[in-house]
Structures are given as structure tokens and as C-alpha cells.
């Protein structure tokens, strides 16, 4: 029986695109057998891996985005609340780092004292971030790094969306026009509340996540056991600003202190043909990691700014692989209030229908 409080951990930090926990959880709950293994080659914020963990199934998540990997890693560990807070106090007692980001954005985004605390954690995690307690602490801070002011003491920043980081020039104009000053936030108190919310009901530590490119065979070189399930949602064609949209969280993990458009989803978005070819590389690679008869479920769709037919693109990518399509189901549209882009005056692309594509590995 899954404790309702344990499910809270899935919400430790947002990600700009993410499918609901019910999607992988219901599939695995109804059809997976004990001892089977689960793979997500585009794990995003680790929803598939967390669903597998809830059900006692081993899993592997892979993503090219360090933010995605850090969020997923925080969902696969179970330090105690006491361990998390003790480590937070140790880090906060460190001397303030001498190097800090400069510029108008940082002055408006964070109170100086809050920024100093954030920098202490950033420096500590860059030195070491492999222990369960630090993986959890890092995930808690990623989730609190920016968000709305309407819940005082919940987020560390000035007014901002929680799902993606605002671009600096626009954000400064927004804050200045409204006279919004960054609040002084008690970082330890924020961590105390979040740790109690997400880590009070521990789960067995199960599953792992890799920073890697699923198009490359060497990403899976350490895997010795085969997988029985693949549940995934690749980047939709044209969605290539994952790191730019998460640039503040990426900075916290060691990235630059400005928006970087040089890194993307890892997939080639130059044309539908190039994109389908890259997807095919992934499907062929993971086929080698799976048992004959393994089931793969792909949630896929499109964005309004691209004219490519998402289903046609997906079928093309599967055409030269050992995966056989057995069923296609349309996904009911998400309520507008739950759409990720609706915040901070951001325009929303017209949604294109999503599908769940069920495949079976034919040996």
C-alpha cells in the first residue's frame, strides 16, 4: 500500500514539460510483474522512475539535461528530515563565497542575504553532490529557487513562475514596473517545511538516473540486466529550449549566470527527417537493453509553431526498429489551468493533440 504522503515527493521541483504521475503509475500497477525493470530514456523530472519506485520496481532514467537529472535523483533517495536539516545547517555555516553573479537581474531577483545562502549551497554541491542527503537537499532547493510571492516563505526569489526561469531583461522590467522588491527569505525555514513535506514518508531506495544521451550506445554500457518496460515522452519536435527555460536552475547546478541557448534537448530539430532519425537511434539503442516482448509506451505530440505531423514523425522513427506499434490512444487535453506555460504573462502555443503509442519489442 502506497502512503499518500510518499507521493508528495513527485512534486519536489517542477519541470516545464511533464506528464502526470497517473500515466506511468497506472500502467505499471495494472500490468507490470514483480521483478520487472523500467527504463525512461528521456526521463525529464523522473516521473516514470518515481512511479516504478512507488511500486517496488527497479528503474533507470536517462536525460541530457542536468536539471532533469538532479530532480530525478532527489526522487530516488530517502534521507531522514533530520539528516537533511543537519546538512543544511553545516552548509549555511560556511563562509560566504567570494564569487557571486553580477548585474541588475541578480539585484532584483534575490535579497542579498538570501543570495549569499544560495551561493553557499551552490558551492557546496559543486564540491560534492553524490550522497543521498545532498541529492535530496539539492532537489529541495531546485524546487524553491524561484516562484510566486503569494505564498511568503515558500520560494527564495522575487515574483517569478515556478516552472521556468524568466529571461533577465524582461524580469527586471516586470519587477521595476510593479515596484516588486525581493524579500529576505529564511532559507533554512523553507528547507525545513519542504523536507517535512517531501521526506517524512521514506520509500525503499530503488532506481538510478544517468546524465547522458540516449542516442549514444555507450550511455548504456554499464547496464547488465535487461528492461521489461519503457515508458517515456521524448521532446516534441521544435521543443529545444529546455536548458534556456531552466537557466536559473541550471546556473545553480554549475551553469553560466546568464541564459544559454547553445544547449538544447540533445535532439536534432533541424528538420522532421533529422528528428525522426535521432528518435530511431534511441529506439534501436534501448531495444538492445530490453527483453524480447518488452512493452514501450510513448507519449508524443506537437507544438503549434511546428507544422510537422507528430504521429507521422513518430511512425517514421519506429519504422526501422524492432518495435512494433500495437495501439494508439489519444490523450485527453489537459485543463487550461494545469498547462505549464500559463504564468508570468507568457504566451501559450496552441496545443496539438497528444497520443500514447503502445509498442512491443519483436525479436
What is the tens place of the pLDDT at every residue in 174-185? 999 999 999 999
The confidence score (pLDDT) of residue 241 equals 61
Percent of the chain with pLDDT over 70: 90
pLDDT surpassing 70 at residue 344: no
> What's the pTM value of the predicted model, to 2 decimals?
0.92
**Could you tell me whether strands 37-40 and 208-211 are parallel, antiparallel, or unpaired per DSSP bridges?**
unpaired
- Per DSSP, the three-state class of 101 is coil
345 within a domain of the structure (yes/no) = yes
The confidence score (pLDDT) of residue 3 equals 81
Clarify whether residues 209 and 190 are in a common domain.
no
Q: Which residues pair with 147 in a beta bridge?
A: 159
The confidence score (pLDDT) of residue 340 equals 34
- Of the candidate ranges 263-277, 310-324, 330-344, the one whose mean pLDDT is the lowest: 330-344
**DSSP assignment letter at 241:** -
CB 278 within 8 A of CB 269: no
The confidence score (pLDDT) of residue 358 equals 98
Which of 86, 95, 196 has its CA nearest to residue 140? 196
pLDDT surpassing 70 at residue 92: yes
The confidence score (pLDDT) of residue 306 equals 58
Q: Which residues pair with 229 in a beta bridge?
A: 38, 295
194-196-197 Cα angle (round to 5) = 65
- Provide the grid cell at 19: 506528464
Distance of alpha carbon 76 from the chain centroid: 13
Clarify whether residues 287 and 220 are in a common domain.
yes
Distance (Å) of CA 314 to CA 53, 162, 257, 309, 328: 28, 31, 36, 9, 11
The pLDDT mean for the chain works out to 91
**Total number of residues shown for the chain:** 363
pLDDT mean over 154-175: 96
Clarify whether residues 39 and 177 are in a common domain.
no
258 within a domain of the structure (yes/no) = no
What is the CATH classification number for the domain harbouring 289? 3.40.50.150
259 within a domain of the structure (yes/no) = no
The residues, ordered by sequence, that sit 6+ positions from 1 with a Cβ below 8 Å of its Cβ are none
Clarify whether residues 93 and 60 are in a common domain.
no
The residue assigned the cell 549555511 is: 92
Percent of the chain with pLDDT over 90: 79
Clarify whether residues 88 and 52 are in a common domain.
no
Clarify whether residues 87 and 216 are in a common domain.
no
The residues, ordered by sequence, that sit 6+ positions from 115 with a Cβ below 8 Å of its Cβ are 100, 106, 109
Number of domains in the chain: 2
User: pLDDT confidence of 348, banded at 50, 70, 90?
Assistant: very low
pLDDT mean over 11-19: 85
Clarify whether residues 224 and 355 are in a common domain.
yes
The confidence score (pLDDT) of residue 176 equals 98
Clarify whether residues 181 and 303 are in a common domain.
no
H/E segment holding residue 290: strand 290-300
The confidence score (pLDDT) of residue 337 equals 42
* Residue range of the domain that includes 169: 81-199
Clarify whether residues 210 and 333 are in a common domain.
yes
pLDDT mean over 242-256: 92
Between residues 16 and 175, which one has the greater pLDDT?
175
Clarify whether residues 186 and 53 are in a common domain.
no
CA distance 236 to 267: 10
pLDDT mean over 158-170: 95
R_g of the chain computed on alpha carbons? 20
The confidence score (pLDDT) of residue 347 equals 45
Clarify whether residues 129 and 181 are in a common domain.
yes
pLDDT surpassing 90 at residue 264: no
Amino acid at each position: 500500500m502506497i502512503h499518500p504522503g510518499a507521493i508528495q515527493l513527485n512534486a519536489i521541483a517542477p519541470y516545464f514539460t511533464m506528464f502526470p504521475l497517473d500515466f506511468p503509475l497506472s500502467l505499471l500497477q495494472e500490468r507490470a510483474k514483480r521483478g520487472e525493470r523500467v527504463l525512461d530514456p528521456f526521463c525529464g523530472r523522473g516521473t516514470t522512475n518515481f512511479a516504478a519506485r512507488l511500486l517496488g520496481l527497479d528503474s533507470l532514467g536517462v536525460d541530457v539535461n542536468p536539471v532533469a537529472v538532479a530532480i530525478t535523483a532527489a526522487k530516488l533517495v530517502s534521507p531522514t528530515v533530520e539528516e537533511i536539516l543537519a546538512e543544511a545547517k553545516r552548509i549555511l555555516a560556511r563562509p560566504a563565497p567570494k564569487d557571486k553573479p553580477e548585474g541588475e537581474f541578480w539585484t532584483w531577483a534575490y535579497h542579498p542575504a538570501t543570495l549569499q545562502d544560495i551561493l553557499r549551497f551552490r558551492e557546496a554541491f559543486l564540491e560534492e553532490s553524490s550522497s543521498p542527503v545532498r541529492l535530496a537537499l539539492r532537489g529541495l532547493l531546485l524546487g524553491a529557487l524561484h516562484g510566486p510571492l503569494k505564498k511568503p516563505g515558500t520560494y527564495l526569489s522575487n515574483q517569478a513562475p515556478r516552472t521556468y526561469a524568466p529571461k533577465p531583461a524582461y524580469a527586471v522590467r516586470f519587477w521595476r514596473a510593479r515596484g516588486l522588491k525581493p524579500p529576505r527569505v529564511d532559507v533554512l525555514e523553507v528547507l525545513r517545511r519542504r523536507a517535512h513535506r517531501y521526506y517524512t514518508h521514506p520509500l525503499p531506495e530503488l532506481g538510478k538516473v544517468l546524465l547522458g544521451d540516449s542516442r549514444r550506445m555507450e550511455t548504456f554500457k554499464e547496464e547488465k540486466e535487461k528492461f521489461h518496460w519503457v515508458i517515456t515522452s521524448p521532446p516534441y519536435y521544435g521543443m529545444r529550449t529546455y536548458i534556456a527555460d531552466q537557466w536559473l536552475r541550471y546556473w545553480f547546478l554549475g551553469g553560466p549566470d546568464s541564459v544559454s541557448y547553445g544547449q538544447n534537448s540533445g535532439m536534432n530539430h533541424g528538420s522532421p527527417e533529422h528528428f525522426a532519425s535521432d528518435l530511431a537511434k534511441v529506439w534501436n539503442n534501448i531495444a538492445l537493453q530490453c527483453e524480447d516482448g518488452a512493452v514501450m509506451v510513448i507519449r508524443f505530440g506537437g507544438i503549434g509553431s511546428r507544422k510537422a505531423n507528430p504521429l507521422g514523425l513518430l511512425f517514421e522513427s519506429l519504422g526501422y526498429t524492432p518495435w512494433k506499434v500495437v495501439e494508439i490512444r489519444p490523450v485527453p487535453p489537459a485543463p487550461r489551468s494545469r498547462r505549464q506555460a500559463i504564468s508570468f504573462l507568457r504566451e501559450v502555443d496552441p496545443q496539438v493533440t497528444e497520443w500514447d503509442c503502445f509498442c512491443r519489442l519483436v525479436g
